[in-house]
Amino acid sequence: MGPNTTQSLPLARSSVLAAHKTISPLIHRTPALTSSSLSGSLPGKNPLYFKAENFQKGGAFKFRGASYNLSCLTPEELAKGVCTHSSGNHAGALALAAQQRGVKCYVVMPNNSAQPKIDAVRSYGASITFCEPNAPARAATLAAVQAQTGATFIPPYDSVNTILGQGTALLELVEQVPEKLAAVVAPVGGGGLLAGTALAADGTGIRVFGAEPAGADDCARGIEEGKRRPDVDAHTIADGLRTPVGVLNFPIIQEKVEKVITVTDEEIIEAMRLMWERMKIVVEPSGAAAFAAVRNKQFQELGIQGAIGIIISGGNIDLSKPLPWVRVHTE
Residue 273 CB neighbours (<10 A): 18
Q: Are strands 48-52 and 32-33 parallel, antiparallel or unpaired?
A: antiparallel
Q: Is 313 a catalytic residue?
A: no
Q: Is 227 a catalytic residue?
A: no
The active-site residue out of 15, 86, 87, 286 is 87
Element (H, E) at 129: strand 127-131
The active-site residue out of 62, 67, 159, 313 is 62
Cα 193 from Cα 251, distance rounded (Å): 14
Q: What's CA 199's distance to the chain center, in Å?
A: 15
Largest CA distance in the chain: 57
| Residues with catalytic roles | 62, 87
